[in-house]
Structure formats: structure tokens, C-alpha cells
């Protein structure tokens, strides 16, 4: 073997330097900021007229060590607690829906057939739509006056249920109020969060389906065949064979999607703007508000983002352990 | 007894075939539902981009298609007739040409810088045994879990004060390209490493035996063989930086990329949906082609090979 020992370092070096500079440096710097009072509000018009202020390093900032004050403040900040709450529910809903719908799509699409193949090809499309655009297009489609989703939900779900309710109401004793046809989706605290999660699900369920299709393809067809010969029906095969075999992949995909969901930001900006009344302010969105929009409190924003880093680090450790275990 | 069994059998087979037919029908319906679920938002956006403004606030699908929305987003606000009324209706030029240029330049430069670095690093990670090889790879994997906002905050304050040619880096293409590295490079390294791993080492061994040195082997033997993988990783990296929003908003600022330019389609009466849709088409359609091209590798790329 003629390979020289110093060669790999030369090859790896440049990439390592760049990854180090763009990930470790900011992590350390943010940690440092988080223990300091570092507020750029000295230039009040900054948020609006930032261009003129940006180049002026002379804007003096109060720069003093405040130890853990920023962190202490976070846990008595009701808006931050709210954002933790919002992020938690957003993650639960979007991860749950993405994985379940992804699994259903994968099971349907997995077989051979012309329509199956076409659908498999189309599954990549939502990945190509940028999250920011996703948010705008969902906001447009959910509008209560001219949104196509709003119309579809009314026609497919609300009206048939109302017909049933009316029928039930003709009975002498019962009286159920019909469902409202004019829910303003993004103005309702619950529905706004739910629809935000739905827009995320639209982007991710097809991708997760693709991941499952790959995993299903690597399962030996003979296993399904054996189950069929033993007289299992489709549902039984799904519950007793497919699902147990997919378990490791489902676990990894769920963890990965959880990590992505916790970092959600783009659609909040373009779809709900955090509203109504902070009902969709995720952690990332709130940090952005604190650091760059409403205030310019870099120290506090750094502390908040470090809380997110800690949560994600725990998850990442679990994830890495799981992935390595598999190998 | 034998007759009985035969009768039973034929009854079951007709019943089975009916059930099979129903099953097939349900499956087709499910497939159509999936297609509708995936394509409706895309179709609706595409359609809206060709709608005249007055039809945007209806769910009509019959209208006379127009290119006016595209004309509005690309014109610089001076070419339209009826200046007064059009300004009132929000139909002023949005001047998005610079944004398209910004997006293209930033994404291309990100790819051109990240991919060569990633290629040689991935090759070394795959082919050499050196101290910390595995640990560094895992560390690179975990960098994808760092929330982008943590990267954005220190670079925001840094780029505010760092001057290049008398201009702060904040709000420039270079600033955005630098922070884009934090998300693009780790993915690219893992992706290309996957392709190098899949390459049998014998050809390289043969080259070593023939007296080639490490760099000759990399440059003339391995590199040509992993070219398809490099291309896939480049496309993936391009899509990532093209669709990036948080950095573009915080670091890119007034140097608007297309993602941020989407937000400039508002007027007195809120977002001008037909204009947003037209801008959205510019954002989305090129990426469709690129995504189709790397369709088979997207999953591996996103999961860094964890799901196989």
C-alpha cells in the first residue's frame, strides 16, 4: 500500500475548516452572547431601516456579563413558554400525520402498475416546493372566501355531515347544532396550528412514503407470500408482517422528522405570521422576533436558541445512537 | 362429498373475484386520491399565476389566461399604463429580476464552493483510515441538527461589522453563501461519501500498483468514476440553497433572494395572490426538473443514508 499518512488530512482539511467555521464558531459565539446583555435596540429604526444602520459599527451597545439572567428570564417569559407549547403540539401533529400518511401512501404505491409508478414519480414534487412558498400557497387555498381547500372541506366534509345532523334532528328528541361552513381557518387558534402542521405534512408525507417504499422494496417478497398462503388478509399482513418489519425504519424516520419539525420556521412567516394571537409562534419564530424583528436583543435570543440546541442535542444523540446501532 | 367441495370452491372463487375487483377499484381510488393530495396545491398555484387579477378572489377554474402577472413581477414599475389606477390596485412592477439573479448566483456559488471541498473530503473519509475518521463523520452528521437560527445570530452580528471593500457582509451575496455552507457542506460530504463507498477499490489498487501516487489516483481514477454522484450531490446542494429561507431573511436581507422576494408581493389589500403565484412558479418550476433528475437519490441525501 502506497497511501501516505498525511494525504487524508490535506483532503479533509478544507472541508473541516469550513464546517467548523460555519457550525462550531456560531455555536460558541451564541453561547458567549447568551451570558451577556447584548441588545442592538440602541438604533431603534434598525428593524425598519436596517440598510442604513448596518454598516455602522459605532452604534454603541451595552455589553456586560449577566451570567444566567437571560436563561432565567426565558423561563418566566410567558411568550417563550407559549412557543415551547406551540412547537410541541406542532411537532406532535406534523410528525404523527406525516408518518401515518406517508406509511399509507407507501403501502398503496408500493406495488407494480402504471398508475402506481406515476404516483411514485409524483411523490418527489412537494420536496421541490420551497417551504416559504408552501406557506403562501396554503394560506391562499385556506382563505374562507376564495380558498379551494375551504371550498373542498365544505363540500366533502361539512355539508354531508350537516345533512346527517339535519336528519337526526328530525327525530323528536335530539337537537344537534349543524357544523359551521365558515370557519376562518387561519384565524382560529387550533385550526391555524393544525393547518400549519398540514402544510408541513403535505411536504413531508410523500418524502416519508418514498423512504418507506425503499424499505419495503428491500423486504423479501417471500415473507408476504408465506403470510398470504397461511391465509392472512391484507389488513393482517399489514399489522402482523409489514409494520413489525418496518419498525426500525419508522423509528428513524420519526426521529428525523421530529428534529426537522422542532426547527420549523419558514411556513410560520409566510402562512400565519405567528398568529392568531401567538397561537402558531414556534420557538424559532419567537427567537427571530426577539432577535431581529420586534427587539434586537441578541443576548436573549441566543439564550433562547441555546435552549433549542439542548433539546435538539438530546434528540440528535438518540438518533445517532440508533443509526449507528443499525449498521 | 366431492361434489360439495367443488360447489364450495366455485362459490368462493366468484366471491373472491368480486372481492378482488372491489379491491382493485379501491386501490385505484386511493392512488387518485394520493395524486390529488400531492398535485392540488401545485396545480392551483400554477393556475392562479395565469389568472387575471379579478378572478384571483374566486374559485373559478374557467378564465382567460394572461401573462400579465409575470409581466408585473418582472417589470420595474415604470412600464405600465394607467399609472394611477394600477398603482391603486397594487399592480405596480415588483422588479424581481435582481432577485432571480441573486438566487441563481448564490445557489451556483454555494455549489461551486461546497462540492469540490465535499468531494475530496468524502473521498478521504471513504478511502483512508486516519485518526478520528469515524468520529469526525458523525460530528458532521450531527451538524445538521443545529437549528439554523443559532448559526444566523452570530453571523448576523459578525457580518454587521466585517467590511469587505468598504461594505459590511450583511445583506450581500457572499454573506449568504458563507452561511449556506453550514447546511450544504455536511449533506454533500455524506452524499458523495455514499457514492465513493459504493465504488469497488480494485481499480484504485491497480493504479497504485502501476506507480500512481495518491493524488493521481484520486484525480484520474476515482474522480471520473464518481462523476455521476458528484452531479447528484451538486443538484441536491443547489436545491437546498435555492429553497433556503431563514438565512436569506436574516443574513441576505435587502439583497433579496426569490424566497424573500415572494414576500414583496403584498399591497394595500394584502398579498396579491396572482403575483405571488407567478413568483412562486419562478421559484418552483426549475426545481421540479432538478428534483426529477435526482429523484432516486433524494431520500438517501435527506437522511444521510440512514434509511436503506
DSSP string of A144-207, one letter each residue: TTT-HHHHHHIIIIIHHHHHHHHHHHHSSS---PPPPS---GGGSHHHHHHHHHHHHHHHHHHH
Of B37, B145, B152, the CB nearest to A312: B145
Q: So what's the pLDDT on residue A3?
A: 66
Pairing of strands B266-267, B163-164: unpaired
- Contact assignment for B148 to A263 by CB distance below 8 Å: yes
**How would DSSP label each residue in B161-218?**
H-EETTEESTTSHHHHHHHHHHHHHHHHHHHHHHHHHTS-THHHHHHHHTT--HHHII
Strand partners, B267: B270
Closest CA to B125 of B146, B140, B145, B143: B140
Closest CA to A260 of B246, B229, B235, B175: B246
Straight-line distance from the first to the last Cα atom of chain A, in angstroms, rounded to the nearest whole number: 27
- Give A2's contacts in chain B (Cβ within 8 Å): 208, 213-214
> Residues with Cβ < 8 Å from B182, sequence gap 6 or more?
A19, A22, A23, A26, B143, B146, B148, B151
List phi, psi (to 5°) of A39.
Answer: -125, 125
Mean pLDDT taken over chain A: 85
Domain at B97-303: CATH code: 1.10.3720.10
- Contact assignment for B138 to A324 by CB distance below 8 Å: yes
At A39 the three-state DSSP class reads strand
- Contact assignment for B291 to A202 by CB distance below 8 Å: no
> pLDDT by residue (tens digit) across A276-305?
888 899 999 999 998 888 878 888 899 999
Set of cell numbers at residue B71: 409581466
Sequence ranges of chain B with CATH classification 1.10.3720.10 = 97-303
At A103 the three-state DSSP class reads helix
Q: So what's the pLDDT on residue A43?
A: 45
> pLDDT by residue (tens digit) across A233-267?
878 888 888 888 888 889 989 999 999 999 899 99
> pLDDT by residue (tens digit) across A77-115?
889 999 999 999 999 999 999 999 999 999 888 888 888
d(CA A129, CA B37): 14
Residue A161 Cα, gap to closest chain B Cα (Å): 20
Name the packing angle between helices A243-262 and A298-326 (round to 10°). Answer: 160
d(CA B29, CA B35): 10
Q: So what's the pLDDT on residue B58?
A: 81
Per-residue pLDDT of chain B (308 residues; tens, 9 = 90+): 455 555 555 666 788 888 888 888 888 999 999 999 999 999 999 999 998 888 888 888 888 888 888 888 888 765 554 555 555 566 677 788 889 999 999 999 999 999 999 999 999 999 888 888 889 998 998 888 899 999 999 999 888 888 888 788 888 899 999 999 999 999 999 999 999 998 888 888 888 888 888 888 888 888 999 999 999 999 999 999 999 999 999 998 888 899 988 888 876 667 888 888 999 999 999 999 999 998 888 888 888 777 76
- Give A132's contacts in chain B (Cβ within 8 Å): 243, 245, 259-260, 262-263
Residue B80 Cα, gap to closest chain A Cα (Å): 26
Of B208, B254, B287, the CB nearest to A2: B208
> pLDDT by residue (tens digit) across A144-179?
888 888 888 888 888 888 888 888 888 877 777 877
- Contact assignment for A121 to B28 by CB distance below 8 Å: no
Angle among Cα A223, A227, A233 to the nearest 5 degrees reads: 135
Higher pLDDT, A207 or B84: A207
Q: So what's the pLDDT on residue A294?
A: 80
Closest CA to B144 of B100, B184, B197, B201: B184
Are residues A93 and A193 in contact, defined by beta-carbon separation less than 8 angstroms?
yes
Task: Using the CB atoms, write b or e for A190-213: b if 16+ within 10 Å.
Answer: ebbbbbbbbbbbbbbbbbbbbbbb
- Contact assignment for A128 to B290 by CB distance below 8 Å: yes
Q: So what's the pLDDT on residue A49?
A: 41
Pairing of strands B167-168, B270-271: unpaired
pLDDT at A59 over 50: no
- Give B218's contacts in chain A (Cβ within 8 Å): 11
- Contact assignment for A137 to B245 by CB distance below 8 Å: no
Give the chain A residue whose CA is nearest to the CA of B121: A12
- Give B306's contacts in chain A (Cβ within 8 Å): 252, 256, 323, 326
Closest CA to A284 of A299, A271, A269: A269
Of B23, B185, B208, the CB nearest to A15: B185
> Residues with Cβ < 8 Å from B56, sequence gap 6 or more?
A146, B48, B272, B273, B274
- Give A50's contacts in chain B (Cβ within 8 Å): 171, 253-254
Residue A176 Cα, gap to closest chain B Cα (Å): 31
* C-beta neighbour count of A100 within 10 angstroms: 13
Q: So what's the pLDDT on residue A28?
A: 93
Q: So what's the pLDDT on residue A165?
A: 87
Higher pLDDT, B123 or A65: B123
ipTM score: 0.87
Provide mean pLDDT across the span A182-197: 87
DSSP conformation class of B92: S
Straight-line distance from the first to the last Cα atom of chain B, in angstroms, rounded to the nearest whole number: 53
In chain A, what percentage of residues exceed pLDDT 70? 91
Closest CA to B33 of A267, A150, A152: A152
> Residues with Cβ < 8 Å from B126, sequence gap 6 or more?
B193, B196, B197
Set of cell numbers at residue A232: 392472512
- Give A137's contacts in chain B (Cβ within 8 Å): 41, 44-45, 277, 280
Q: How confident is the model at residue A26 (pLDDT cuts 50, 70, 90)?
A: very high
Name the packing angle between helices B227-242 and B173-197 (round to 10°). Answer: 150
> pLDDT by residue (tens digit) across A217-233?
888 888 888 888 888 88
* C-beta neighbour count of A185 within 10 angstroms: 22
- Contact assignment for A140 to B273 by CB distance below 8 Å: yes
Q: So what's the pLDDT on residue B208?
A: 86
Are residues B146 and B181 in contact, defined by beta-carbon separation less than 8 angstroms?
no
- Give A4's contacts in chain B (Cβ within 8 Å): 213-214
Interchain CB contacts (distance < 8 Å): A and B: 294
Full-model pTM: 0.89
pLDDT at A214 over 60: yes
Q: So what's the pLDDT on residue A2?
A: 55
pLDDT at A63 over 70: no
Amino acid at each position: 500500500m502506497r497511501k501516505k499518512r498525511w494525504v487524508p488530512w490535506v483532503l479533509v482539511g478544507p472541508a473541516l475548516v469550513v464546517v467548523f467555521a460555519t457550525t462550531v464558531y456560531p455555536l460558541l459565539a451564541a453561547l458567549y452572547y447568551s451570558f451577556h446583555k447584548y441588545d442592538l435596540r440602541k438604533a431603534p429604526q434598525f428593524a425598519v431601516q436596517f440598510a442604513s444602520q448596518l454598516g455602522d459599527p459605532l452604534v454603541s451597545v451595552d455589553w456586560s456579563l449577566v451570567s444566567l439572567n437571560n436563561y432565567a428570564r426565558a423561563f418566566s417569559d410567558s411568550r417563550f413558554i407559549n412557543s415551547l407549547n406551540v412547537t410541541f403540539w406542532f411537532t406532535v401533529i406534523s410528525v404523527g400525520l406525516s408518518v401515518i400518511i406517508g406509511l399509507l401512501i407507501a403501502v398503496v404505491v408500493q406495488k407494480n402498475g402504471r398508475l402506481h409508478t406515476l404516483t411514485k414519480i409524483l411523490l418527489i414534487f412537494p420536496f421541490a416546493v420551497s417551504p416559504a412558498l408552501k406557506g403562501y400557497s396554503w394560506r391562499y387555498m385556506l382563505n374562507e372566501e376564495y380558498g379551494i381547500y375551504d371550498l373542498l372541506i365544505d363540500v366533502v366534509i361539512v355539508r354531508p355531515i350537516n345533512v346527517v345532523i339535519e336528519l337526526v334532528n328530525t327525530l323528536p328528541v335530539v337537537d344537534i347544532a349543524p357544523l359551521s361552513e365558515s370557519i376562518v381557518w387561519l384565524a382560529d387558534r387550533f385550526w391555524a396550528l393544525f393547518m400549519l402542521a398540514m402544510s408541513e405534512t403535505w411536504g413531508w408525507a410523500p418524502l416519508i412514503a418514498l423512504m418507506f417504499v425503499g424499505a419495503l422494496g428491500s423486504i423479501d417478497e417471500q415473507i408476504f407470500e408465506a403470510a398470504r398462503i397461511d391465509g392472512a388478509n391484507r389488513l393482517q399482513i399489514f399489522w402482523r408482517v409489514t409494520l413489525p418489519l418496518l419498525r426500525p425504519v419508522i423509528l428513524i424516520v420519526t426521529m428525523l422528522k421530529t428534529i426537522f419539525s422542532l426547527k420549523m420556521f419558514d411556513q410560520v412567516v409566510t402562512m400565519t405570521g405567528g398568529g392568531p394571537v401567538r397561537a402558531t409562534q414556534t420557538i424559532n419564530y419567537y427567537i427571530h422576533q426577539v432577535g431581529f424583528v420586534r427587539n434586537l436583543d441578541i443576548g436573549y435570543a441566543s439564550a433562547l436558541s441555546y435552549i433549542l440546541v439542548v433539546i435538539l442535542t438530546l434528540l440528535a444523540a438518540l438518533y445517532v445512537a440508533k443509526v449507528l446501532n443499525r449498521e | 362429498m366431492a361434489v360439495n367441495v367443488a360447489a364450495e370452491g366455485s362459490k368462493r372463487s366468484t366471491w373472491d373475484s368480486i372481492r378482488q375487483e372491489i379491491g382493485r377499484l379501491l386501490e385505484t381510488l386511493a392512488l387518485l386520491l394520493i395524486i390529488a393530495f400531492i398535485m392540488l396545491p401545485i396545480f392551483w398555484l400554477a393556475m392562479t399565476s395565469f389568472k387575471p387579477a379579478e378572478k384571483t378572489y374566486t374559485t373559478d377554474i374557467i378564465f382567460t389566461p394572461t401573462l400579465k402577472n409575470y409581466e408585473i413581477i418582472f417589470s420595474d414599475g415604470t412600464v405600465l399604463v394607467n399609472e394611477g389606477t394600477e398603482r391603486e390596485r397594487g399592480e405596480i412592477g415588483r422588479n424581481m429580476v435582481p432577485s432571480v439573479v441573486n438566487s441563481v448566483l448564490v445557489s451556483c456559488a454555494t455549489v461551486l464552493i461546497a462540492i469540490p471541498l465535499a468531494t475530496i473530503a468524502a473521498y478521504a473519509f471513504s478511502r483512508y483510515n486516519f485518526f478520528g475518521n469515524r468520529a469526525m463523520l458523525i460530528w458532521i452528521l450531527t451538524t445538521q441538527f443545529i437549528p439554523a437560527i443559532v448559526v444566523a445570530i452570530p453571523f448576523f452580528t459578525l457580518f454587521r461589522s466585517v467590511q469587505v471593500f468598504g461594505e459590511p457582509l450583511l445583506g450581500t451575496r457572499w454573506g449568504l453563501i458563507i452561511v449556506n455552507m453550514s447546511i450544504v457542506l455536511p449533506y454533500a460530504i455524506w452524499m458523495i461519501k455514499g457514492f465513493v463507498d459504493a465504488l469497488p477499490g480494485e481499480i484504485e489498487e491497480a493504479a497504485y500498483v502501476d506507480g500512481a501516487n495518491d493524488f493521481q489516483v484520486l484525480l484520474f481514477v476515482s474522480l471520473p468514476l464518481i462523476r455521476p454522484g458528484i452531479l447528484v450531490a451538486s443538484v441536491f446542494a443547489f436545491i437546498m440553497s435555492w429553497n433556503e429561507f431563514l438565512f436569506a431573511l436574516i443574513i441576505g436581507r435587502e439583497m433579496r433572494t426569490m424566497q424573500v422576494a415572494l414576500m414583496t408581493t403584498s399591497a394595500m389589500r394584502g398579498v396579491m395572490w396572482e403575483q405571488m403565484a407567478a413568483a412562486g412558479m419562478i421559484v418552483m418550476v426549475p426545481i421540479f426538473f432538478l428534483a426529477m433528475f435526482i429523484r432516486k437519490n433524494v431520500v438517501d441525501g435527506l437522511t444521510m443514508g440512514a434509511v436503506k
